Structure 1
Amino acid sequence: MINLIGEYNCKVDAKGRVMFPSSFKKQLTSILDEGFVLKESIYERCLELYPMQTWNATMSKVATKNRFDKETNDFIRRFSAGVKLIELDGTGRFLIAKNLCNHANIKKEITMVSSIDRIEIWNSEDYQKKLESEKQNFAKLVQKVMVDGEIKNEENE
């Protein structure tokens, strides 16, 4: 399993290209050539960059769902809407499509943040505001999500 670590401030050029942080490259060395999938986040105005291995595992779970169920089809359509295949160019950059930049309010300054097996890409100012707004409630969130040192699941609820 991939367990990424880090938070990096990066610049986006006028064409929407970003230099992939070298620390993430090192962490993903063995699978870097497989590429990535970039998509809108479900819950936030940010983007999610999935290493292809993580994307394939996620889609394998989705593929087990009943495709004859309308809600399932609606979910799959929305979940995969606007996804882009991403490869690093020879200089280690990747391109963020305009529609994805618009969704995440990406202009020039971004923050790339590890989120276990994927990377969130935020407008840097929006990311800082998000962290500040959640600061006071974080202790309560920890208590709500974690139970006896383990991640809360349906059995613990």
Structure 2
Amino acid sequence: MINFNAQYDCKADAKGRVMLPVALKNKLLPVLKDGFVIKRSVSGACLELWPMSEWNIMMGKINKLNRFVKKNNDFIRIFMSGVKEIEIDNAGRLLIPKNLVAVAGIKKEITLSPAVNIIEIWDKESYEEAITISNDDFEALAEDVMGDAEDVPDVS
């Protein structure tokens, strides 16, 4: 499993090509040859870049869903909408398909945001809006999400 720990700002050209920062390309070296899947996000106006090994794990989970249950079938259809297999070329560029550029509202400035084992691809302005939250609201969110987690170190 690969974990992403850094955020990067870069640019997309008019064709949707993004030159990956060297540090990110180096992080991706172990999975570069296997390729990637890019898709619309489950939540937020962004895209998700999945290393193929992580995508295959997700497909294993989805493949266990009973397709005769309507909500499962609906989920699969929506989750798989717009999915494309892509590669990162020798120059370290990633080509975002035009239909997905439109879905994410990508203009020129983009943010590559770590999301544990995948990378979210955002229009930079949309990303800044999505992460805007007061300290008090973030504190409450952190407590709601992580407050009952086991093995959380004491940070006081």
Q: Report whether the alignment pairs 1:126 with 2:153.
A: no
Shift of 1:135: 4.8
> Aligned partners of 1:149 and 1:82: how far apart in 2?
34
Q: 1:3 and 1:133, CA in 2 relative to 1: closer, same or farther beyond 3 A?
A: same
CA deviation string 1:21-68 (max 9, x = no partner): 222222222111101100011110001000101111011001111122
- C-alpha distance in structure 2 between counterparts of 1:135 and 1:76, whole Å: 36
Instruction: Tell me what 1:20 maps to.
Output: 20
Partner of 1:5: 5
Alignment match, 2:46: 46
Give the Å deviation of 1:150. 3.1
The equivalences for 1:107-122 within 5 A come to 107-122=107-122
- Paired residues of 1:145 and 1:151 also in contact (CA < 8 A): no
Long gaps (5+) in structure 1: 153-157
Taking only the aligned residue pairs, the percentage that are identical comes to 49
> 1:41 and 1:94, CA in 2 relative to 1: closer, same or farther beyond 3 A?
same
Aligned to 1:100: 100
Residue 9 of structure 1: SS of its match in structure 2?
strand
Task: Compute the displacement of 1:151 (Å).
Answer: 8.1
> Is residue 2:137 matched to residue 1:137?
yes
Give 5+ residue unaligned stretches, structure 2: none
The AA in structure 2 aligned to 1:120 is: E
Provide runs of 4+ in structure 1 moved above 4 Å: none
- Which TM-score applies when normalising by structure 1? 0.90
Partners of 2:61 and 2:36 lie apart in 1 by 18
RMSD value over aligned CA atoms?
1.7
Q: Which SS does the other structure have where 2:25 is aligned? A: helix
Partner of 1:83: 83
Question: Per the alignment, do residues 135 and 42 of structure 1 end up closer, same or farther by CA in structure 2, a change over 3 Å counting?
Answer: farther
Alignment TM-score, normalising by the size of structure 2: 0.90
Letter in 2 for 1:45: A
Shift of 1:137: 1.3
